Structure formats: structure tokens, C-alpha cells
Amino acid sequence: MALIITLAITIILQFFAAAVAVKLTKVTKFNLSWILISFGFIFMAVQRLAEFLPFVTEFKPQYFRLFYIWLGAITSLFFAVGVFLIQKIFKHMKQVEMRTRNQEKALLNAVIQAEERERRRFATEIHDGLGPLLSTIKMSVSSLAAVETNPSAQSVIKNTNLAISEAIKSIQDISNNLSPHILTNFGPAKAIRNFVNKVNQSKGVKVYFKTNTMDMRFSPALEIVVYRSVCELINNSIKHSGATRVDIAVDLNDAIIEVVYKDNGVGFDATNLFQNDQGVGTGYFNMLSRVKSMKGKLEVVSNKDKGVFVNISIPTNNGK
């Protein structure tokens, strides 16, 4: 009885497997290997059914010995050839996966380029719109100071003039941060050097920068990723780490541009830096997206009171 139940369950499962295999032939684009495997499942189910019939009917299997032999041989042949040819399915799946990855990277590149275009547009509008307007106001206030003799009015005019000068400087800084002309005209190394010099003027954190790419140019997309990544890391150190020293190296080795960044700040737990959903590490996650769009790698190592170590490596031939 137990054998009959086992055979019955086996037959049900075999026909179910055959039905699923047949259903999947459409998914596999009717690949010959999967069609053969599907027929193998069907013939195997028929074979199990033939083995079951003598237990419940007068069916005599010895009368169909040749049929069993042929059925088993054909089933084995279908499975063998199907498995041999199934590599085409895996090859197709690999091609689909590669195409999807390339599309994702192309989309990320397009997003980065669109973001930079918007940054340049905002920078231009601020610099060419508000800048001249404030300069005109400054000239008017200066002219007013030349004719006004009231001491109290002179004090107001002087303060106004200083405020306008600060506003003009702020506009220049904002415009330059949005889209630094040095990056466009002279490349990432000199743009980073300029950014580092500005940070060092604050006398809060000391940044040491070295590179062997000072006069080198790369694709615009690669230059943007390198520059934005370094700026993001420096800003993180200034805002969150309490670091007093930052060391940055940007070097080109064997067609790979490598950024090595270290600070002596308070550090953080980087174990789940790219797996959280609480908004923690958003800057790092955006950085990772930018780096991956260039087929690069990002490594972040940090522990509490141990500072942070970041390594970015990007092939130079993927951003052209």
C-alpha cells in the first residue's frame, strides 16, 4: 500500500513538473534545450504512470518490455541533449543581465550629466543675473557715500556697502560650488587643489592633498565623479567627524584613477553603510551610485574613534 501511495504521489509530482516545464518554454524563448527537457519530464511521467498501472489494473508490463526500453532511452536522450544545450539559456540570461546593467549605468550617467547641466545653468543664472545687479547697487551706494555728509547716514551707507560686498562674494562662492569653472577649464586635480586651499583658509581642519594627475584631463563624466566625491568626503569630515587632519591622494596607475582619502575624526560604524533605509549615509550612497556608473569601486572602512578610510578606483576608459 505504501508503495502504491508513493508511486501515486510521484506521478502527480512528475506531471506537475512536466506542466511547469512546458509553461516555461515561452519564458525561455522556446529554446530547443528546454523543449527537450520538457519532453523528458513528460516521458518520465508517462513511465511512472506505466509502472503504477499494474497495481490498479490488469495491465501487464512484460507485454510492453520493448516500449519501456524505448521510453527510457528517449527520456535519457532528451535530458542529456537538453542539459548539453541548456548553456544557451544561461548565455542568454547572462546577456540580458549584462544589458540590464549597462542600461542602469547609462541611466546613472545620464542623471549625472543632467544634474551637472542644471548646476551649470543655476550657476550661470546666479552669477550673470544677481551678480551684475548687486554690483550696480554697490556702485549706486558708493556714489551716494560720495555726496552724503551726514555722519549717521555715512555709517548706514558703509554697513550697506559691506553687506553688498559680502553678498557678491557669497554669490561667487555659491556659483563656483555649483559648477566650478576650474574643473571645466583645468581638470579635477587643480579644482580639488583650489577647493582644498579654501578649506585650509578656515583653519579648522588641515587638508593635505597630493596627486600625479595635476596636468591631466579625463572624460567630463569621470572628472565630475572624482571632484564631487572628494568634495563630499571633505564636507563630511568638516561637518560630522571633528577631524583635525585629512589626507587625500588622487593618482593614476595603469589606466585606473584612484582616490585614497583618510581623516582622523571620530569615525562611525560602516558595516551597513549601503544597506540602511533610514537616510543615514545618503551622501555615501549617492557617491557609490556615481562611482558604479563609471564601472568603479568604492570601499569605506571606519570604526568609532578610528577615523575613516575611503578608497575609490575608476577605470579611465569607461567615461568616454
**Tens of pLDDT along the chain (320 residues)?**
677 787 778 778 777 777 877 777 776 665 667 777 777 878 777 777 777 777 777 766 666 677 777 777 887 887 777 777 677 767 777 888 888 877 777 777 777 777 777 777 776 667 666 777 777 777 777 777 777 567 777 777 788 888 888 887 777 777 666 667 788 888 999 999 988 998 898 778 899 999 999 889 998 889 989 998 998 899 889 888 889 999 999 999 989 999 999 999 998 888 777 765 444 457 788 888 888 888 899 999 988 888 999 999 999 986 44
CA distances to 8, 11, 49, 55, 172 from 2, rounded to whole Å, are 10, 14, 16, 12, 86
Residue 108 located in a structural domain: no
**Up-side HSE of residue 284: CA atoms within 13 Å toward CB?**
24
What are the cell numbers at 197? 586651499
Burial class (CB in 10 A: 0-12, 13-18, 19+), 149: exposed
The Cβ of residue 89 has, within 10 Å, a number of other Cβ atoms equal to: 18
188 lies in a domain? yes
Residue 185 and residue 58 share a domain: no
In a domain, residue 250? The reply is yes
Task: Indicate whether 111 belongs to any domain.
Answer: no
Instruction: Please state the separation of Cα 212 from the chain's center in Å.
Output: 26
Which residues, at least 6 apart from 10, have a Cβ–Cβ distance to it below 8 Å?
A: 48
CA distance 134 to 295: 44
- Residue where a domain stops, chosen among 85, 103, 118: 85
Q: Is residue 289 part of a domain?
A: yes
Secondary structure of 210-252 in the HEC alphabet? EECCCCCCCCHHHHHHHHHHHHHHHHHHHHHHCCCEEEEEEEE
Domain hosting 29: range is 2-85
Residue 187 lies in a domain: yes
The answer on 190 and 319 residing in a single domain is yes
Which residues, in sequence order, are CB contacts of 112 under 8 Å at separation 6+? Answer: 221, 224, 225, 290, 293
Q: Are 319 and 236 in contact (CB under 8 A)?
A: no
Domain boundary at 85, 118, 150, which?
Answer: 85
- Total domain count for the chain? 2
Q: Output the nine-digit C-alpha cell for 74.
A: 528517449
Neighbours of 291 (CB within 10 A): 20
**Residue 230: what pLDDT?**
93
What is the reported pLDDT for 277? 47
Residue 320 lies in a domain: yes
Q: Are residues 80 and 195 in the same domain?
A: no
How far apart are the C-alpha atoms of 217 and 222, rounded to whole Å?
A: 10
Clarify whether residues 194 and 316 are in a common domain.
yes
> How does pLDDT run across 100-119, given as a tens digit for each residue?
877 777 777 777 777 777 77
Domain end, chosen from 30, 63, 85, is at 85
Q: What is the pLDDT of residue 160?
A: 84
Q: What is the CATH number of the domain that holds 282?
A: 3.30.565.10
**Considering the domain boundaries, does residue 165 fall inside one?**
no
